[in-house]
A and B are shown apart, each in its own frame.
Chain A
């Protein structure tokens, strides 16, 4: 195992985060805090509880998940796309690093950033809204699992993308709508049929539901199903990455 290689990629990516602190950390924390201020502190006090949880507290898991998903994808996709764009990918491809080590470096760094970001948002939320964490272990588990899975997904997008526009398409046009419609701001039990049934085809529903269960012990779908769906998506992403390195898709001619 080339530990120095993994560390080099990891540190290189993390250094980029510290260099662009305003964009990487401050900006998503600030934009999520605005949701807490508007929907939690201001409007939330005039809204009723959902499943016994105040509205301001209810939206916290969904909002953290929104940041987690979009930042994991953005960080990981940019991390591998930029060397392809600038041509520096030659160095990674010619180095004695395996596909696993490359992925561990890039995805590990992107997931680390997301976990740090999730933690910061959680702490920031406390300034505006009261909340509790019933299952802290599972909260951490969902945080890590989601960050790693969607960083892998971002890595795949970064390999696939051949221009900057494509990097933005999935986070903005797919992930954000799926999160907004996946129960970030409401319980899917509040939806009439057939919308409730249709919503169950949205994979983000399971992520938010599982994450909310870790906070408050209440969920739209069984937590085991949430965990299972997340793991299935993780396996799909791992398989896609394995195929990319096996075939050299868009990285090797």
Chain B
């Protein structure tokens, strides 16, 4: 099946010479929730802005819904709804007017019943006659989502959708994203909250310094790159890791009462049995144990740090000639 978004060899260099995107290749499948992660200034918003037509690319091609975003921009843009990061709203307009404006702008005939439906879904119906300036930040965010959905897009971009919203609204947003996906909408979101991506995404893309570091199924990524920890709580604190266990991947907590053993999830032999046997031989007792899987956040930080280190090493080599 043809991907709903296809990005090939996309580059963006701004007028000042800053390269925001370097040769990006990305395919997003119809109906999936794709999370784009990356630190500030990594190029997430630039990538979204190019796909949506707000920023001109320097090179490469992008197809949305099967249409080239430049040659067939009308049909490509008609497929896309965008909720930008900034709360940019027409403060003096009513909710009803601004959402209908968006629908008209995207070339759709008025459909009050549909607009009513999305306003009700987003708990905005009671506020339909209120001026946007009178709404709370969370409500304004909902208005922006309503505007993005007003023309019935098949692709929805959410650029930092829950930035600055309270926990309750964030939970509501997550529910809404899932229900949109169930209705057939493909969702691409950027977020700083790794937890958000972990909760919602089917696939994860990590972008750093304009380069797409990886694209992977979330579960595969966590399995492939994740580590597990086995923590033992000791009744008698240790001063240091005993000599007899020094060859094992162990760390001791600062107060010496917790010994942590790290192992690879995907490995057939985790080494736990051997570790526990040697622990017994060393006469070290423990009163409790638990295991913990590394979070997506830790994987993400590891990836970004790894990419940074690799870049620094490359630059050092180049400098040394």
Does A93 count as interface, using CB distance less than 8 angstroms? yes
The answer for the CA separation of A8 and B55 in the assembled complex, in Å, is 23
In whole Å, how far is A178's beta carbon from the nearest beta carbon of chain B? 33
B80-129 with Cβ < 8 A to chain A: 80, 82, 84, 86, 88-93, 97, 100-109
B73 at the interface (CB under 8 A from A): yes
Asked if A4 is an interface residue, CB under 8 A from chain B, the answer is yes
**Would you call A93 and B53 a contact (CB within 8 A)?**
yes
In the complex, what residues of B have CB within 8 A of residue A12's CB? 93, 97, 101
Our pick among A3, A7, A86, A96 for the contact of B106 (Cβ within 8 Å) is A96
Using a CB-CB cutoff of 8 Å, which residues 87-106 of chain A contact chain B? 87-88, 90-98
Least Cβ–Cβ distance between B93 and chain A, in angstroms: 8
Let me know if A9 is at the binding interface, CB within 8 A: yes
Cα A3 to Cα B107 in complex, Å, equals: 7
In the bound complex, what is the Cα–Cα distance between A15 and B98 (angstroms)?
A: 12
- The answer for the CA separation of A95 and B90 in the assembled complex, in Å, is 16
Given A5-B107, A253-B14, verify A96-B77 contact (CB < 8 Å). yes
- What is the CA–CA distance of A16 and B78 in the complex, to the nearest angstrom? 26
Q: Which of A87, A92, A98 contacts B105 (CB 8 A)?
A: A92
CB pair B14 A94 closer than 8 Å = no
Out of A87, A91, A96, which one reaches B78, CB within 8 Å? Answer: A96
Confirm or deny: B75 has a beta carbon within 8 angstroms of a beta carbon on chain A.
yes
Closest to B77 in A: A96
Chain A nearest CB from B261 CB (Å) reads 50
Report if A31 contacts B (CB, 8 A): no
Q: Which residue of A lies closest to B53 (CB)?
A: A94
A88 touching B105 in the complex, CB below 8 Å, given contacts A15-B97, A95-B77, A96-B78: no
How many angstroms between the C-alpha atoms of A88 and B105 in the bound complex? 13
Residues of chain B contacted by A253 (CB below 8 angstroms): 14-15, 55-56
Q: Is there contact, CB below 8 Å, between A94 and B77?
A: yes
Cα distance A120–B12 in the bound complex, in angstroms: 51
Judged by a CB distance under 8 angstroms, whether A196 is at the interface is no
Confirm or deny: A19 has a beta carbon within 8 angstroms of a beta carbon on chain B: yes
Contact with B along A67-90 (1 / 0, CB 8 A): 000000000000000000011101
Known: A90-B84, A253-B14. A96 touches B90 (CB 8 A): no
By a CB distance below 8 angstroms, the chain A residues around B93 are 12, 15
Verify if B319 is at the interface (C-beta below 8 Å from A): no
A202 within 8 A of B: no
A94 and B54 contact, CB distance less than 8 A: yes
Q: Is the CB of B90 within 8 A of A88?
A: yes
Distance of A87 Cα from B54 Cα, bound (Å): 12
B55 cross-chain contacts in A, Cβ below 8 A: 252-253
Bound-state Cα–Cα, A12 to B98, Å: 9
- The verdict on B33 contacting chain A, using a C-beta distance below 8 Å, is no
Which A residues lie within 8 Å of B102 (CB)? 8, 91
CB within 8 A of A4: which of B15, B86, B107? B107
CB atoms of A19 and B92 under 8 A apart? yes
Of the candidates A4, A94, A248, the one whose C-beta lies within 8 Å of that of B104 is A4
Of all A-B residue pairs in the complex, the 6 with the closest CB atoms, nearest first, are A8-B104, A87-B88, A96-B74, A96-B77, A94-B52, A2-B107
Given contacts A4-B109, A8-B105, A95-B77, 15 further A-B contacts (CB under 8 A): A5-B105, A7-B104, A9-B105, A12-B93, A12-B101, A15-B97, A86-B88, A88-B89, A90-B52, A94-B53, A95-B107, A96-B73, A96-B75, A97-B105, A253-B15
Q: Which residues of B contact A (CB under 8 A)?
A: 14-15, 52-56, 73-78, 80, 82, 84, 86, 88-93, 97, 100-109, 147
9 A-B pairs with CB atoms under 8 Å apart are A4-B104, A5-B106, A86-B90, A87-B86, A95-B106, A96-B74, A97-B105, A253-B14, A253-B56
